[in-house]
Amino acid sequence: MKEDILAFLGLMRRASALAVGEENASEAIGKGKARLLLLPSDGREKTALHADHLLEGRSALKIQLPFSEEELAKSVGTGRCSMAAVMDLGFAKALMEQLDGAFPGRYGKELEAVTFRHEKAQRRKKEKPGVRTKKKSAGED
């Protein structure tokens, strides 16, 4: 299961749905594109504090993955990965479902939050503004 999650992270990178590295993730957060911020299990405390600072006033969630920085970097095809940002709610929801399935009880709260946001976005997509029709003037039938 762990390998499947790591492979999924690689897929997200290839789909351009994952901003890899501190600089790219910071940029995604700054532009409001990040939905989920991922940190490795063995990340530095300084990086975690920087992540908290970046997320102040933002709606993106931060989670610590059960993978080392080395495992994360290998899965996304980089030499180093201290931080990554998921920029698509569908991918974020799918990742959280996989994490919750592999590590029951550990990511339930985050899965619930991402699922809520994803469903809300889906409802908004379905509720397209109605086509406005010209009001009839008095005397028109």
- CATH number for the domain harbouring residue 29: 3.30.1330.30
Residue 137 counted as domain residue: no
Residue 100 counted as domain residue: no
pLDDT at 58: 92
Domain hosting 82: range is 2-87
Residue 78 counted as domain residue: yes
Which pairs from 131-136 meet CB under 8 Å and 24+ separation?
Answer: none
The structural domain count of the chain equals 1
Alpha-carbon gap, residue 10 to 123, rounded angstroms: 29
> Which region among 43-47, 72-76, 95-99 has the lowest average model confidence (pLDDT)?
43-47
- Strands of 33-100, DSSP E: 36-39, 61-64, 84-86
Residue 25 counted as domain residue: yes
Average pLDDT, the chain: 90
Alpha-carbon gap, residue 35 to 29, rounded angstroms: 8
Residue 132 counted as domain residue: no
Q: Diameter of the chain by CA atoms?
A: 75
Residue 80 in this model has a pLDDT that exceeds 90: no
pLDDT at 129: 64
Residue 68 in this model has a pLDDT that exceeds 90: yes
pTM, entire model = 0.85
Q: What is the mean pLDDT of residues 31-42?
A: 95
Sheet with strand 61-64: strands edge to edge = 18-20, 84-86, 36-39, 61-64
